[in-house]
Amino acid sequence: MIPLVYDGSFEGLLTAIFEVYEYKLADPVITTAERLNNSLFGTTHITHADHAKAERVLKKLKEKLSRGALAQIYHAHLSEIDGIENYILRYIQYALSTNTAIENNFAHPDVLMLRQTSQKVRREKHRMEAFVRFQLTKDGLYYALIQPDFNVLPLISKHFKDRYADQRWLIYDTHRKYGLFYDLEQVTEVKMEFDLDTQNNNQLFTIHDEKEDLYQTLWHQYFSSVNIAARRNMKLHIKHMPKRYWKNLVEKKK
């Protein structure tokens, strides 16, 4: 068993897969340094992301798979599920080993795993697009804090750039400690320590624009006015808006 340690990026993963073939590595296990199990036997192979190698893998996959299948591989990687890299490796090995289409062969465990994982990631993407709530700071920046189950920031960037093209905004993933910043021209990835306590109203008051409290009050009133008590179905409500998202939703704050 040979562990291949990569940097966690998609380009790094494709590079690692290229080197499995390049060095004819037997029984490889792709992992990150953080998840490396020191009890694994064999020599550790360190992979450095290489754009040219990654592009060669992508080029070959484009010959074998549809665009949808390629998207599934990327979405599955963003899930960050423990060991997902090796599901992807086996999926790609399977695709390259045959001349028949494999992406709908759900009898194969790795094909089924990637399909199911991709669906979960895309579901989380749509939820983030629906549940992000911006708040206005005194310097005119709209910010939102999120804690998605999966790393969906790369998937929601275009949606928010198109929808909020006329305002500066920051969407920050408090779990992964990075965010997306839009400066009215382009979206860039930013890494920062965002220690703001979103449950502390006094702390929020120090950075909020003076009209933000009014906006939140109006939003509460609107949310209450459209909420018909007689038709309330909490089970259905929680199904569509799971409780884990509530702490970052303005309408759910008291």
* Domain final position from 122, 146, 166: 122
Distance in Å from the first CA to the final CA of the chain: 54
Residue 203 lies inside a defined structural domain of this protein: yes
Does residue 1 have a pLDDT over 60?
yes
The C-alpha angle with vertex 62 and arms to 107 and 91, in degrees rounded to 5, equals 30
Verify that 222 and 136 share a domain, yes or no.
Answer: yes
The per-residue pLDDT for 135 is 86
Runs of H (alpha helix) within the chain: 10-22, 51-64, 67-78, 84-96, 109-131, 153-163, 201-205, 212-226, 234-240
Sign of CA dihedral 117, 118, 119, 120: positive
**Domain span holding position 68:** 2-122
Residue 95 lies inside a defined structural domain of this protein: yes
Residue 68 lies inside a defined structural domain of this protein: yes
- Type of residue at 18: F
Highest mean pLDDT among 89-93, 188-192, 202-206: 89-93
The per-residue pLDDT for 63 is 96
- Helices 67-78, 10-22: crossing angle, 10 deg rounding: 110
Residue 127 lies inside a defined structural domain of this protein: no
Q: What is the mean pLDDT of the chain?
A: 84
Does residue 107 have a pLDDT over 70?
yes
* Domain final position from 122, 152, 177: 122
Q: Read off the pLDDT of each residue in 201-215 and give the average, rounded to a whole number.
A: 48
Q: Read off the pLDDT of each residue in 153-171 and give the average, rounded to a whole number.
A: 96
pLDDT band at residue 215 under the 50/70/90 scheme:
very low
Residue 40 lies inside a defined structural domain of this protein: yes
Does residue 7 have a pLDDT over 50?
yes
Verify that 116 and 6 share a domain, yes or no.
Answer: yes
Q: Which has the higher per-residue pLDDT, 48 or 39?
A: 48
Chain centroid, CA 97 distance in Å: 30
Q: Which has the higher per-residue pLDDT, 134 or 48?
A: 48
The per-residue pLDDT for 139 is 84
Q: Which of 30, 45, 23, 48 is nearest to 86 (CA)?
A: 30
The per-residue pLDDT for 230 is 59
The per-residue pLDDT for 126 is 96
Does residue 79 have a pLDDT over 90?
yes
Verify that 141 and 247 share a domain, yes or no.
Answer: yes
For residue 182, the cross-strand partners are 169, 187
Residue 219 lies inside a defined structural domain of this protein: yes
Runs of H (alpha helix) within 147-195: 153-163
Q: Read off the pLDDT of each residue in 78-88 and give the average, rounded to a whole number.
A: 97
- Please give the share of the chain, as a percent, with pLDDT higher than 70: 73
Residue 210 lies inside a defined structural domain of this protein: yes
Verify that 154 and 87 share a domain, yes or no.
Answer: no
Total number of domains in the chain: 2
Verify that 99 and 157 share a domain, yes or no.
Answer: no
Verify that 74 and 28 share a domain, yes or no.
Answer: yes
Q: Which has the higher per-residue pLDDT, 215 or 248?
A: 248
The per-residue pLDDT for 239 is 56
Verify that 93 and 176 share a domain, yes or no.
Answer: no
Verify that 66 and 89 share a domain, yes or no.
Answer: yes
Helix (H/G/I), strand (E/B), else coil: 221 = helix
Verify that 207 and 98 share a domain, yes or no.
Answer: no
Verify that 180 and 111 share a domain, yes or no.
Answer: no
The per-residue pLDDT for 221 is 46
The per-residue pLDDT for 183 is 95
Does residue 223 have a pLDDT over 90?
no
* Domain final position from 72, 99, 122: 122
